Structure 1
Amino acid sequence: MERWLALELASTIRHDGDGGVADDLATPQGLDRWLQAQAELLAGHVVVGEVAADDGLRREIVELRKAVRALFARAVSPDPPSSADAGRLMPADRALTYINSVAAREAVVPQMDWPSEADPVVRLVSPEGDPAVRLAAALARAAIDFLSGPQRTRLRACSAPRCVRYFVRSHGRQEWCKPSCGNRARAARHYQRRRLTAEDAQAS
């Protein structure tokens, strides 16, 4: 399954398995673990081992995540957004301004490499030396690329009970982010039908 850095960032808010919501970026250690897991997606932008995952950077990445999730909510409208933050979303205009401003912190220029007997490859090169600035800018650019690309129209908020994830729909009828969510949703619907049937029987 294809991975997108912006979607991975949004998914650091997730169902905790006990009916609540977990935040993978609640601590600097959590941010460090998440960065290590995204090292492949971040390659070419920043060397993860050079980033000091302190609390200041954590707060900045969390703010960027708020902006991304606010724009994800806008993208899935008029369908409902993720229930995790539906009542406290950052205003969309503020989210746009924030993402654009973070992306602008790092000046980048494209450079093309063309190895012999291989296709040309374009990479972004930056003179910026601060890994934290490069990381935040790379995440903001990933959000811009995602939301301006074709996958935006396939973005959905998972409709399974208690799930708070966004996902990119891989086929036209997909309602849930993963099979376990589908199983939980079907079980909830079955329980609801049985309850209503029992109530109807009692009423008659």
Structure 2
Amino acid sequence: MERDLAIELANTLRHDGDGGVADDLGDPTALTAWVRAHLPEADGFAADDAALADVLALRRALRALFARAVAPGPPSAADARRLMPAEEALTHLNAAAALLPVAPRLVWPVQQAPVATLVSTAQPAEPVARVVAALARAAVDFLAGPRRDRLRSCGAPRCVRYFVKSHGRQEWCKPSCGNRARVARHYRRHHAEQVQGRGTEAEG
């Protein structure tokens, strides 16, 4: 299955298996491990609290733009009540991408498809800036590319992931989410039938 750095970053928020949301980037140590696993060129990267704050802010902007991309479908349940405004997210993403001397800029006019352009900058390229810029560029590439049209938020109970549809009928990010959704659907149907049955008995 094709993997994408932008999707991987967005999905560092995930269902924790117990009804809540887990964060794979919960502290600088976790961020360090994640970056080294996903960005081979950042092998010597070591995160601190400031780097963590920068990456989490970028992730928040990315998930806000993912929510815009899947509209009018629902955004991830993790974001529904605290989405960054789309224009603010767009500005933040472009600023992060511009932390390197030549950066892509995402332009997304209302009711039009987003496109990526290249702009020159004069910003320093410190280690943290290189990581943040690489993640932001991956987000720009994804949002300006053809896979954006197949982006979906998983509709399974408690799942907060985004995914790219690989076939026309795909509704969930992975088979276990599909199983959980079918079980929940069966439970709701069975419960409704029981309630209706009790109502019929009471009328009799």
The TM-score normalised by the length of structure 1 is: 0.85
User: In structure 2, what is the equivalent of residue 116 of structure 1?
Assistant: none
Alignment pair present for 1:89 and 2:80: no
1:176 aligns with 2:172: yes
Unaligned runs of 5+ in 1: 110-126
SS at match of 2:43: helix
User: 1:90 & 1:27 partners in 2: Cα distance?
Assistant: 22
Which residue pairs with 2:152 in the alignment?
Answer: 156
CA distance in 2, matches of 1:51, 1:128: 17
State how many pairs are aligned. 181
Q: What is the aligned-residue RMSD (CA, Å)?
A: 1.4
Asked if 1 retains the 8 angstrom alpha-carbon contact of 2:67 and 2:75, the reply is yes
Contact preservation (8 Å) 2:32, 2:47? yes
**For residues 173 and 107 of structure 1, what CA distance do their matches in structure 2 show?**
42
Amino acid at match of 1:68: L
Encode CA deviations 1:40-72: one digit per residue, 9 max, x unaligned.
xx34xxx32222211100000000000000000
In percent, how many aligned pairs have the same letter? 61
d(CA) in 2 for partners of 1:166, 1:197? 33
Aligned-residue offset at 1:24: 1.0
- For structure 2, list consecutive stretches of 5 or more residues without a partner in the other structure: 104-122
What corresponds to 1:192 in structure 2? 188
- 2:6–2:138: 8 Å Cα contact kept in structure 1? yes
SS of 1:86's equivalent? coil
Provide the C-alpha distance between the structure 2 equivalents of 1:32 and 1:60, rounded to a whole number of angstroms.
13
2:50 to 41, 56, 67: 56
When normalised by structure 2's length, the TM-score is: 0.85
Q: What is the one-letter code of the residue matched to 2:129?
A: V
How far residue 78 of structure 1 moved from its aligned partner, in angstroms, is 0.5
Equivalent pair of 2:99/2:125 in contact (CA under 8 Å): no
